[in-house]
């Protein structure tokens, strides 16, 4: 079983979440907003390449060109599983990683865009802030559960004026910001 230890102080998390959005560039903010709009559309049954592309572009622009190697039917099928409230984390991730250009971290971003209160993005910066590195689907399920537990404790509040206004996504922003700030501090030494 994976073990996660929060590196930043709990009392820093809300400020870090706010700082993340403030420090993000205009393009980053636009890509994130578009990704969550696409996630809403997918949740509403629009299982299309343009919606998938908006989310993939947000997390890894260099992977977008691989998406055209997937058939309309395979994209529709994978997104239908991902958007199903009955699918387990493993089923949803496995359906998505079966698509060309989708790895576990991008699959997690797709799931987070579709269900921002249920799924976290598996991101190297957030993992660093939890004292860990990337792993497999089982690891992602444990990571997602750990972040949901933290978010449910109320240590960070939803950011109602931002895309995906959930405590889970605010926590992700805080962890990511902590890692970025931490890396900058280490580089300055």
Domain positions in the chain: 10-188
Summarised one tens digit per residue, pLDDT across range 85-119 is 999 999 999 999 999 999 999 999 999 999 999 99
Mean pLDDT of 155-160: 94
Distance CA 97, CA 54 (A): 17
Question: How high is the mean pLDDT of the chain?
Answer: 92
Q: Specify whether the CB–CB gap between 174 and 156 falls below 8 A.
A: yes
pLDDT of amino acid 123: 87
Of residues 72, 31, 79, 78, the one with CA closest to residue 55: 31
Q: Specify whether the CB–CB gap between 43 and 118 falls below 8 A.
A: no
Residue with tokens 């997690």: 108
Distance CA 72, CA 26 (A): 31
Report the predicted TM-score, pTM, of the whole model to 2 decimal places: 0.76
């Amino acid at each position: 079983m994976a073990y996660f230890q929060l590196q930043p102080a709990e009392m820093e998390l809300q400020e870090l979440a706010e700082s993340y959005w403030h420090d993000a560039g205009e393009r980053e903010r636009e890509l994130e907003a578009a990704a969550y709009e696409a996630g809403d559309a997918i949740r509403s049954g629009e299982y299309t390449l343009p919606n998938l592309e908006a989310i993939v572009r947000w997390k890894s622009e260099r992977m977008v060109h691989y998406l055209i190697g997937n058939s309309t039917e395979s994209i529709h099928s994978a997104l239908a599983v991902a958007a199903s409230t009955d699918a387990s984390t493993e089923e949803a991730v496995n359906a998505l990683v079966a698509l060309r250009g989708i790895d576990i971290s991008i699959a997690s971003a797709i799931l987070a865009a579709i269900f921002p209160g249920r799924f976290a993005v598996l991101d190297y910066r957030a993992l660093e802030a939890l004292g860990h590195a990337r792993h497999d689907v089982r690891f992602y399920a444990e990571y997602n559960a750990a972040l949901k537990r933290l978010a449910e404790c109320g240590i960070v509040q939803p950011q109602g004026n931002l895309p995906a206004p959930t405590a889970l996504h605010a926590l992700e922003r805080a962890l990511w910001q902590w890692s970025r700030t931490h890396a900058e501090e280490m580089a300055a030494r």
